[in-house]
Copies of this chain bind each other. A is one copy, B any other.
């Protein structure tokens, strides 16, 4: 069957808060790409929320109810997305959805950490899937990475910055010399911390996530009650400063380690070497470092919370479910991610049409007027300059050989090629112009 022959997969959403809104938005906005990848459309047909009046999600076309059970029991729904959070009634609803023959996708780390063993056994018995990528580290596909991508390894340890609120507070304490209370207040003002921040700052949320990571890394049942948990509320700004003097940063880590004796599961503030990549993970970002015996250290970094990053993980799980429902096992994941009949004929643009800022290094005669000539050539082509560095000649170079270095604002390659050719034709320019393109790597 080609993908156009499959009817859409109907999803029932439980919870229309921040993440629920993100999921509806991402599924709608990327509907085309998603069905090109999954092999069929994924649409939310049913949704439940405690308070339907307050949701800002676009629920057009959905059958709405205040009663989650109605969605879970609706025979039309093939997959339940559970975004209500908490232990109950989430657990009961998920078990019931599985009993009803539905697949489940959830972002509920508390429920998985505490009731996952029971839920997975029920899913296994029912021949249904429970996707929980969104339960750990938001948009970072860390469950998939460990469970599948690193499946050849004996995982020795996992260390993660898996609570953005705590990481934001520690980053503020370090970067701005704030004390804990002030940094917490700022996190609350910015919406990064709840009015009652206990779960985040006392490590309970991180412990939920660590429980899950440890199980998939080591193949042990979920054991939330065995995690050692210590929060960050006792850390002072002096501790942050002293740690720095020793060459360390304080991060709130979830650490799981495994050897023949047993497994360690612990969440606590931790000094880590400041030159380690993990020490550079700042603000609300998350990162998980995995040590496998074959792969060595791998780091997975990204947004650990927020409506759309979490939605990214939820939708990935939906695509996973749908790919499995739709394809022969061998063609579950298309080789090039998109279904073979859905590849795009989008052109690859010629380099001349690419636009980047540029670094230019010129070797010029040290005589007045060179810089004026060069800047004129650039100005004539509407290439604006961000910075200029004119160096004294190197001691061993001829006295007349002076490097001029420029940074330009973004410019089309073609126009820059012309400018460089014109500059190289100047008598006062001694060597080919060195051009290195610049990428700000910001979120444009």
Contact = CB atoms under 8 A, between A and B. Distances in A.
The bracket for how many chain A residues form the interface is 35 or more
Q: Name the 10 nearest CB pairs between A and B, nearest first.
A: A141-B149, A152-B315, A219-B338, A298-B302, A139-B295, A226-B348, A299-B301, A295-B312, A120-B335, A151-B319
Contacts of A264: 348-349, 354
B271 A296 contact: no
Interface string A404-422: 0101000000000000000
A443 B296 contact: yes
Given A34-B152, A116-B335, A437 B268 contact: yes
A271 B335 CA distance: 33
A345 to B, nearest CB: 8
A144 B152 contact: no
Given A33-B219, A271-B359, 17 more contacts: A33-B153, A103-B330, A127-B328, A127-B331, A139-B292, A139-B295, A141-B145, A152-B315, A218-B346, A219-B336, A220-B346, A242-B391, A263-B347, A268-B436, A270-B438, A277-B280, A280-B280
B312 A153 contact: yes
Contacts of A215: 336-337
Contacts of A354: 228, 264, 266
Contact of A441 (B29, B250, B263, B272): B272
Contacts of A319: 148, 151-152
Interface string A210-249: 0000011111111100101000001110110011011010
Nearest to A361: B239
A320 interface: yes
A265 interface: yes
15 contacts: A139-B292, A141-B148, A149-B313, A152-B316, A218-B344, A219-B337, A219-B338, A238-B361, A243-B436, A246-B359, A262-B349, A271-B359, A271-B436, A291-B443, A300-B300
A61 interface: no
A236 to B, nearest CB: 7
A93 interface: no
Given A30-B154, A37-B151, A128 B330 contact: yes
Query: Considering residues A132, A336, A349, which has the most beta carbons from chain B within 10 angstroms of its beta carbon?
Result: A336
A332 interface: yes
A302 B301 contact: no
Interface of A: 22, 26-27, 29-30, 33-34, 36-38, 103, 116, 120-121, 123-124, 127-130, 132-133, 139-141, 144-154, 159, 215-223, 226, 228, 234-236, 238-239, 242-243, 245-246, 248, 250, 253, 255, 258, 261-266, 268-273, 276-278, 280-281, 287, 289, 291-303, 308-309, 311-316, 318-320, 324-325, 328-338, 340, 342-349, 351, 353-354, 359, 361, 387, 389, 391, 403, 405, 407, 434, 436-441, 443
A273 B357 CA distance: 13
Contact of A221 (B151, B331, B336): B336
A332 B332 CA distance: 11
Integer count of this chain's copies in the complex:
2
A347 B262 contact: yes
A349 B303 CA distance: 31
A439 B272 contact: yes
For chain A, what secondary structure do more than half of its interface residues adopt (helix, strand, loop), or is it mixed? mixed
Contacts of A139: 292, 294-296, 298
Contact of A150 (B141, B243, B281, B389): B141
Nearest to A386: B246
B309 A303 contact: no
A441 B222 CA distance: 24
Given A216-B337, A312-B152, A337-B217, A293 B30 contact: yes
A273 B311 contact: no
Given A266-B351, A270-B437, A294-B309, A246 B330 contact: no
